[in-house]
Amino acid sequence: DQQVKQNSPSLSVQEGRISILNCDYTNSMFDYFLWYKKYPAEGPTFLISISSIKDKNEDGRFTVFLNKSAKHLSLHIVPSQPGDSAVYFCAASYYTGRRALTFGSGTRLQVQP
């Protein structure tokens, strides 16, 4: 049972354009969401997070939107740069006395120069 889903395995955009990566979740108990970026042969690195009390969080070129009613979040990258080319994972968690992150399967973003 995949509780966090990234239905697009890959995405290609032109440099300077907007990249939109999507993520859906099924567990309504999730209250904290994160995006990670992963380059080949490296571990994932944290990008941006959002708590369920918010619907938007912005950090430079990266913005995460959360739609709780639709159980959907998205990551917007504007403007996209070739160095953004990587695999992006969304992750979610909730508190049960402790937390563990549940990850999606990832979306490979390719930004074309």
Partner 1 sequence: GAGVSQSPSNKVTEKGKDVELRCDPISGHTALYWYRQSLGQGLEFLIYFQGNSAPDKSGLPSDRFSAERTGGSVSTLTIQRTQQEDSAVYLCASSLVVAGTGINSPLHFGNGTRLTVT
Distance from chain centroid for Cα 42: 18
- Show contacts with partner 1 in window 21-50 (CB under 8 A): 32, 34, 36, 41-46, 49
- Is residue 95 within the footprint of partner 1 (CB under 8 A)? yes
Min CB(15)–partner 1 separation in Å: 26
CA dist 35 and 88 (Å) reads 7
CA distance 47 to 84: 11
Residue 55 · residue 40 · CB < 8 Å: no
Nearest-approach distance from CB 68 to partner 1, in angstroms: 18
Single out the segment in contact with partner 1 by CB under 8 A; choices: 18-26, 61-69, 74-82, 94-102: 94-102
> What token pair was written down for 6?
């990234």
| Interface positions with partner 1 (CB under 8 A) | 6, 32, 34, 36, 41-46, 49, 89, 91, 93, 95-106
